[in-house]
Amino acid sequence: MPPAEIAPASDRAADLALLIDQAREAGEIARLHHRTDVATWEKPEGAGPVTAADIAIDRMLKRTLLAARPDHGWLSEEIEDDPARLDHDRVFIVDPIDGTRAFMRGDDSFCHALAIAEAGEVTVAVAYFPIRDQMYWAVKGGGAFLDGTPLHVSARAEIDGAVALSGQKQMHPSSWPGGPPPVSREFRNSLVYRHCLVASGRFDLAFTLRAAWEWDVAAGALIAGEAGAVVTTATGADWRYNAAHPRMPGVVIGPAPLHADIMTRLRPVA
């Protein structure tokens, strides 16, 4: 079907209000289960852990968001993918708990990541950290915010000494023909959280060279991009969301000079 006209600003404001409201509802469920003996099991094929809270939040969000926007498609981590979403120009992309391992440990660094993609572009996104009661949000072309305070990426222009959020395996020399970049490295379980920390300027850049699902990236990528970051896949390409196979070949996020430096050092990803 032909691409829909991108929603006007007034519609995006209503979409943002909807996502914020439902993210807070998700937070109520998460708080009920946080630091309790919540049921937990492993997904098939080594896909990682899941809890009863993930499932409850995902089901609640699908029910309430699609009731509010019945013309939208749906893509989320814990609900079986329905190819019917490909027939929709506007799609919810949701991770009910990004950072499930952190949630299981009783940490407060997990979030609910909700986004809307229109014709392949994410236009509205929120990331809500319920234990901290922190709401990151962004609207395409309208900037990124934390609880109403504008966000801006780091002003650092040199890669040497930059602080990057990335897993240890991402620094393996096989990915870097001239050796890993001269950065300090830290790690956070939630990919969306990493992107929000880059958006806030607390860290200089974030990258993962492993394939990443759209629900792990969509919300944080818009927040970081609206805060001034360059956002691409690990191939250096833009990504069109609501892909038939919604898994990206990694993601690199950071201020323009740092992003460019990383891409020149990185072995091309097939």
pLDDT of residue 269: 63
Give the residue among 262, 241, 245, 251 at the shortest CA–CA distance from 209.
251
Could you write out the three-class secondary structure of the chain?
Answer: CCCCCCCCHHHHHHHHHHHHHHHHHHHHHHHHHCCCCCCEEECHHHCCEEEHHHHHHHHHHHHHHHHHCCCCEEEECCCCCCHHHHHCCEEEEEEEEECHHHHHHCCCCCEEEEEEEECCEEEEEEEEECCCCEEEEEECCCCEEECCEECCCCCCCCCCCCEEECCHHHHCHHHCCCCCCCCEEECCCCHHHHHHHHHCCCCCEEEECCCEEHHHHHHHHHHHHHCCCEEECCCCCCCCCCCCCCEECCEEEECHHHHHHHHHHCCCCC
Residue 137 to residue 52: CA distance in whole angstroms: 26
CA separation for the pair 228, 242 (Å, rounded)? 23
pLDDT at 109: 95
Are residues 235 and 208 in contact, defined by beta-carbon separation less than 8 angstroms? no
Task: Tell me if 116 sits within 8 A of 122, measured CB to CB.
Answer: yes
Q: Token digits for 177?
A: 């023909």
The pLDDT score that the predictor gives to residue 42 is 86
Reading the block at residue 192, the tokens are 């969306």
| Cα–Cα dist 65/44, whole Å | 27
Which residue positions in the chain have pLDDT lower than 50? 1-5
CA distances from 86 to 2, 70, 72, 211, 233 (A): 12, 15, 10, 21, 21
What pLDDT was estimated at residue 185? Answer: 95
